[in-house]
């Protein structure tokens, strides 16, 4: 299976025709875990599509077909998220900030890894990544939604709060 995991994603569709075991390995998502362990890197675009039926998000990678200039979407295993969750792209990770906590999904393995909790519950958060830090703007209620800011240092996994500057102090 390590040999198959090293084959470019664009060629794996035709490899599913070889045998049922190979098809199950590729379509079942285990291939992403093996590729991650082998440190196989390949540039791809992650696409999330929201379903109208049950409000869930399905995730795909956009890959170029092997022999021509056509592209296809290939479903990838991704932990369930809510439509209200804030998504943040940081390198090869997708960070998810939501009601269920804060976690990230690493590209390649698509495994969920829980991160340290924020210091506050954020009302309709706005997020940004600057210099390996994830800034989260938004307070506990609509009144202080933009007055509360904290950031997560991705290298230490520690949260810090930025002091609030009132109008009288500015």
Global pTM reads 0.63
pLDDT at 51: 73
- Position 99 scores a pLDDT of 65
Domain count, the chain: 1
147 in any annotated domain:
yes
Range of the domain at 154: 86-162
Interior/surface letters 104-140, b for 16+ CB within 10 angstroms, e for the rest? bbebbbbeeeebeebebebeebebebeeeebbbbbbe
Q: Is residue 110 part of a domain?
A: yes
Instruction: State the pairing for strand pair 149-153/133-137.
Output: antiparallel
Q: Does pLDDT of 160 surpass 80?
A: yes
In a domain, 152, yes or no: yes
Domain-located, residue 6: no
Domain membership flag for residue 168 = no
């Amino acid at each position: 299976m390590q040999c198959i995991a090293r084959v470019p994603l664009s060629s794996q569709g035709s490899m599913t025709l070889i045998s049922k075991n190979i098809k199950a390995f590729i379509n079942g998502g285990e291939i992403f875990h093996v590729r991650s362990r082998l440190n196989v890197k390949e540039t791809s675009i992650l696409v999330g599509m929201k379903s109208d039926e049950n409000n869930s998000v399905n995730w795909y990678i956009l890959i170029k077909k092997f022999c021509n200039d056509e592209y296809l979407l290939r479903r990838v295993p991704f932990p369930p998220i809510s439509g209200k969750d804030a998504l943040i792209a940081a390198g090869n990770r997708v960070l998810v900030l939501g009601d269920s906590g804060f976690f990230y999904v690493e590209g390649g393995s698509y495994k969920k890894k829980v991160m340290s909790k924020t210091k506050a519950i954020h009302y309709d958060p706005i997020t940004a990544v600057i210099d390996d830090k994830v800034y989260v703007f938004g307070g506990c209620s609509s009144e202080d939604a933009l007055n509360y800011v904290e950031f997560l240092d991705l290298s230490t996994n520690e949260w810090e709060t930025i002091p609030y500057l009132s109008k009288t102090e500015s």
